[in-house]
């Protein structure tokens, strides 16, 4: 008898799971049905800022695999169909056809919950006004680009200064807008410690972006036509012809919660190592709707990122297909670009270490991406955090120019291996003048951190 796999959500996790399960089991053995409420499958949401900014020309460039391509592999993709209920006891889901309004129940032998995350939209006056945009899906990106093309005004306000906010600020500058970024913390990019975030503020200002920190948005002001006219924050009105929300996302787990599936403290689904939802042998979940283990702190986190979502999909697909794969957890690596500034982080910030009960020392160094005498050697700031006493690496943050960002991978692997900073000093990293000073900046930071560990005792 043919089993039926039902997947809810047709982006990275859902479609990777489908494709991987299909590699293991053919259509006679496993029927695969995917419900996707949007118009697209398998696209790179992370690429939307570059599409808006014009570096990526066509929407379709962001689509790794179309519904037709998936269907050609025997995957039954049902677009514009929103699943509105999980019936766990009955092993079925209820789908709602967004075009016709028709509703149907579909039974499953295995269910994958890949509902992703939804952007935070604070309940503010005017938040739903035309001209206020999220950038979570391709459909969102399309709507934003339509607004940008139609509007005659050139003033844009970005709310939030995380990765998406900062990338969108640059994209809007590229499109010729005057851009103001309004954000809550003291410094942009709160995934960094403030001392490193201040370097990002400098870069944004260098681009011509007005950066307003320590500021909470209280209202979206609209005009007589109902369209957005401004953003009110901290008593000031920032005029706006378009507003982009980049405040962050939360796991899209409303249906899962309603069905009684277990959620963690961040609102994400809880799974085991094989990405099976805890307590449910026939339900799997991954991507932006789950919580993951932080290997450094030992705590659970919610990290919505395409790279994890793709891995999760592969793991789920392999396990459903009869293979075996697990997801051990994350160390919290992220990298981003603001114009020519590269920003990277992995592991714990100071406040994460404190929250995890870890005492630590820090060291910050300045170095260069190449040998100092080699052309285009660019400055780089590396901050390192290590556990007091043991010297175990806890985190690294890097801000610099070309060649800075991906150096964070050295620390990401070292964190995974639970290396101490003393062990890191001896790392045999690639050296040649076009690539690195004779002491790689990460090693220079490790040396200074070792001294800090020794001094602190």
The answer to whether residue 46 is catalytic is: yes
Distance in angstroms (rounded) separating the CA atoms of residues 242 and 131: 5
Joined together, the tokens standing for residue 316 give 């789920």
Report helix, strand and coil shares of the chain as percent, to nearest 5.
Answer: 30, 30, 40
Q: What is the torsion angle, in degrees rounded to the nearest 10, for the CA atoms of residue 160, residue 163, residue 165 and residue 166?
A: 120
Report strand pairing: 341-347 vs 393-400.
antiparallel
Q: What is the torsion angle, in degrees rounded to the nearest 10, for the CA atoms of residue 431, residue 432, residue 438 and residue 439?
A: -30
**Among residues 71 and 418, whose Cβ is nearest to a second copy?**
418
Least spacing, CB of residue 46 vs a second copy, in Å:
6
Least spacing, CB of residue 402 vs a second copy, in Å:
8
Q: What is the torsion angle, in degrees rounded to the nearest 10, for the CA atoms of residue 136, residue 138, residue 139 and residue 142?
A: 110
Distance in angstroms (rounded) separating the CA atoms of residues 294 and 287: 15
Closest CA to 214 of 237, 238, 234, 232: 234
Q: Can you say whether the dihedral through the CA atoms of 211, 214, 216, 222 is positive or negative?
A: negative
Do residues 322 and 24 lie in contact, with contact meaning Cβ atoms separated by under 8 Å?
yes
Do residues 256 and 248 lie in contact, with contact meaning Cβ atoms separated by under 8 Å?
no
Distance in angstroms (rounded) separating the CA atoms of residues 56 and 37: 25
**Among residues 150 and 426, whose Cβ is nearest to a second copy?**
426
Least spacing, CB of residue 336 vs a second copy, in Å:
5
Least spacing, CB of residue 311 vs a second copy, in Å:
7
Q: Can you say whether the dihedral through the CA atoms of 43, 158, 198, 360 is positive or negative?
A: negative
**Among residues 10 and 47, whose Cβ is nearest to a second copy?**
47
Least spacing, CB of residue 449 vs a second copy, in Å:
15
Least spacing, CB of residue 102 vs a second copy, in Å:
34
The one catalytic residue among 31, 39, 46, 79: 46
Distance in angstroms (rounded) separating the CA atoms of residues 36 and 137: 12
**Among residues 182 and 341, whose Cβ is nearest to a second copy?**
341
Q: Identify the residue whose tokens are 């901050």.
A: 383
The residues of the shown chain that bind a second copy, judged by CB under 8 A, are 12, 44, 46-47, 50, 55-56, 61-62, 163, 305-308, 310-311, 326-328, 330-337, 342, 344, 346, 371, 373-375, 403, 405-410, 412-414, 416-417, 419, 423, 425-436, 438-440
**Among residues 152 and 373, whose Cβ is nearest to a second copy?**
373
**Among residues 245 and 318, whose Cβ is nearest to a second copy?**
318
Rounded to 5°, the CA angle 380-384-390 comes to 155
CA distances from 239 to 130, 157, 245 (A): 15, 8, 15
Do residues 291 and 300 lie in contact, with contact meaning Cβ atoms separated by under 8 Å?
yes
**Among residues 55 and 359, whose Cβ is nearest to a second copy?**
55
Distance in angstroms (rounded) separating the CA atoms of residues 204 and 70: 40
Least spacing, CB of residue 81 vs a second copy, in Å:
25
Least spacing, CB of residue 250 vs a second copy, in Å:
21
**Among residues 387 and 440, whose Cβ is nearest to a second copy?**
440
Instruction: Catalogue the active-site residues.
Output: 46
């Amino acid at each position: 008898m043919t089993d039926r796999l039902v997947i809810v959500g047709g982006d990275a996790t859902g479609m990777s799971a489908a494709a991987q399960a299909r590699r293991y089991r053919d259509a006679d053995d496993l029927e695969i049905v995917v419900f996707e409420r949007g118009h697209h499958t398998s696209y790179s949401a992370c690429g939307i800022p570059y599409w808006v900014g014009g570096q990526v020309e066509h929407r379709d460039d962001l689509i790794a695999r179309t519904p037709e391509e998936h269907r050609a592999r025997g995957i039954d993709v049902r677009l514009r169909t929103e699943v509105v209920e999980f019936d766990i006891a009955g092993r079925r889901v209820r789908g709602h056809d967004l075009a016709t309004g028709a509703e149907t129940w579909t039974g499953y032998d295995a269910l994958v919950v890949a509902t992703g995350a939804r952007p935070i939209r604070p309940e503010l006056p005017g938040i739903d006004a035309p001209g206020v945009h999220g950038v979570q899906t391709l459909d969102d990106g399309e709507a934003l680009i339509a607004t940008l093309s139609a509007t005659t005004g050139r003033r844009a306000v970005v709310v939030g200064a995380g990765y998406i906010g900062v990338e969108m600020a640059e994209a809007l500058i590229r499109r010729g807008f005057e851009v103001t970024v309004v954000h809550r913390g003291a410094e942009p990019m709160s995934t960094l410690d403030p001392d490193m975030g201040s370097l990002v503020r400098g870069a944004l200002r260098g681009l011509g972006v007005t950066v307003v920190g320590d500021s909470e948005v209280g209202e979206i002001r609209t005009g007589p036509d109902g369209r957005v006219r401004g953003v009110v924050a901290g008593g000031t009105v920032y005029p706006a012809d378009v507003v982009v929300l980049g405040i962050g996302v939360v796991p899209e787990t409303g249906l899962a919660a309603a069905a009684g599936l277990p959620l963690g403290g961040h609102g994400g689904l809880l799974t085991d190592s094989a990405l099976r939802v805890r307590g449910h042998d026939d339900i799997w979940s991954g991507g932006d709707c789950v919580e993951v283990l932080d290997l450094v702190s030992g705590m659970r986190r919610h990290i919505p990122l395409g790279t994890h979502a793709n891995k999760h999909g592969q793991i789920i697909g392999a396990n459903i297909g009869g293979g075996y794969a697990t997801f051990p957890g994350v160390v919290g690596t992220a990298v981003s670009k603001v114009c020519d500034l590269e920003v990277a982080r992995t592991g714990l910030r100071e406040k994460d270490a404190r929250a995890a009960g870890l005492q630590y020392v820090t060291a910050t160094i300045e170095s260069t991406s190449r040998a100092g005498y080699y052309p285009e050697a660019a400055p780089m700031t590396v901050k390192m955090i290590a556990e007091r006493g043991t010297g175990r690496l806890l985190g690294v943050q890097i801000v610099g120019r070309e060649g800075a960002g991906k150096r964070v991978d050295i620390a990401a692997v070292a964190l995974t291996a639970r290396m101490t900073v003393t062990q890191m000093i001896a790392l045999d990293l690639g050296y040649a003048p076009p690539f690195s000073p004779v002491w790689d900046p990460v090693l220079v930071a490790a040396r200074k951190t070792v001294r800090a560990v020794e001094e602190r005792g």
